[in-house]
């Protein structure tokens, strides 16, 4: 798997970051994708839709660092909703006192890179629109 992502700092609080992620995710899901989520749930893939907490399965997670706040969303694809397929975007936030370090990442296959990059950019643009002091420290979108 490959990954698209952007790492940046913001002066928004952890709670503000979470709310902005939720608002942006809801806007990206829209009515049509929420109907697709219902289709996926009926097909038995309900656990693959909407918001979730990413899992840290690495035995080194505690040493490498677990973020203070982590959230993920699966934004359904119109062409494959019955299988629960979508684009997953994760946000990881660490509180550094006077600022927050934020990572927006989306893993993808060879054919999903453009959509993953577009979704990560949409979330990042929401942060830029809310906090003029956003500073990018790493980007692969």
CA 99 to chain centre: 20
What is d(CA 43, CA 25) in angstroms, rounded to the nearest whole number? 23
Above 90 in pLDDT, residue 118? yes
Which pLDDT tens digit goes with each residue over 56-113?
776 676 677 788 899 999 887 765 545 546 889 999 999 999 999 999 999 888 878 8
Distance CA 109, CA 51 (A): 21
Q: What residues contact residue 55 under an 8 Å CB cut-off, 6+ apart?
A: none
The two beta strands, 50-52 and 135-140, are unpaired
Of 5-19, 52-66, 112-126, where does mean pLDDT reach its minimum?
Answer: 52-66
Encode pLDDT of 15-51 as tens digits: 999 999 999 998 987 655 555 555 555 545 455 567 8
* Residue listed under structure tokens 């909703």: 81
Neighbours of 38 (CB within 10 A): 14
Higher pLDDT, 62 or 55: 55
Q: What is the mean pLDDT of residues 107-131?
A: 92
| Model pLDDT, residue 61 | 64
Task: Please tell me the predicted confidence (pLDDT) of residue 83.
Answer: 52
């Amino acid at each position: 798997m490959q990954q698209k992502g952007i790492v940046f700092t913001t002066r928004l609080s952890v709670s503000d970051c979470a709310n902005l992620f939720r608002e942006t995710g809801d806007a990206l899901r829209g009515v049509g994708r929420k109907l697709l989520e219902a289709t996926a749930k009926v097909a038995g893939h309900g656990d693959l839709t909407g918001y979730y907490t990413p899992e840290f399965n690495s035995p080194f997670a505690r040493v490498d660092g677990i973020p203070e706040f982590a959230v993920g969303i699966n934004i359904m694809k119109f062409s494959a909703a019955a299988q629960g397929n979508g684009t997953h975007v994760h946000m990881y936030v660490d509180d550094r006192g006077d600022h927050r370090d934020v990572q927006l990442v989306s893993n993808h296959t060879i054919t999903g890179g453009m959509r993953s990059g577009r979704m990560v950019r949409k979330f990042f643009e929401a942060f830029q629109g809310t906090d003029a002091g956003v500073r990018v420290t790493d980007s692969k979108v």
